[in-house]
Amino acid sequence: MEVCNTKAPQIAAKVATEAGMQVSRISLKNRNSDNAPNVWQKTVLENFEARKAAGADPTTLEFSEIVEHDGSKEFRFMKAIPTDGVCLACHGESLANDVQATITTLYPNDRATDYKLGDIRGSFVVTKMLH
């Protein structure tokens, strides 16, 4: 749980600073309200879900585009995060009591449970303003 709670945001901030881009994680069923998708991200996540339902391997689901945004061009990239076995301890259908208690304390509005192996848990997002 520590990796998702503290280390992942630190890693994303470090990469973002070094590369001059925004790096984040989002989900349709977010645990942290900071990880709620905006409109275009929600559309991509829903597309990922439809592609998976049609038989696509979630490990291959990616999206990229360059759009005009606030008078500049913005590069957008998303990569699906498939639920792996290790994810199920905190995101699965049945959590240990101590894990559930910690999640409830850290994230009182948690929606990121009941995942099964191979479900799309969310997406990594990279955006960069192009000059």
Decide: 131 and 69 in contact? Cβ < 8 Å: no
At residue 4, the pLDDT reads 66
First-residue to last-residue Cα distance in the chain: 38
Residues above pLDDT 90, as percent of the chain: 70
Q: Tell me: domain 2-130, CATH 1.10.150, correct?
A: no
Residue in this structure with the two tokens 């192009």, named with its chain if needed: 130
Give the domain ranges of the chain: 2-130
Q: Using an 8 Å Cβ cutoff, are 64 and 77 in contact?
A: yes
- Is the pLDDT confidence value at 11 over 80? no
Distance of alpha carbon 4 from alpha carbon 55, whole angstroms: 28
What pLDDT score was predicted for residue 82? Answer: 97
Residue 101, pLDDT > 80, answer yes
Residue 118 Cα to chain centre, angstroms: 14
Higher pLDDT, 12 or 45: 45
What percent of the chain has a predicted confidence (pLDDT) above 70?
89
Confidence of residue 5 (pLDDT cuts 50, 70, 90): low
Who contacts 5 (Cβ-Cβ below 8 Å, separation ≥6)? Answer: 106
Q: Which of 66-70, 107-111, 113-117 has the lowest mean pLDDT?
A: 66-70
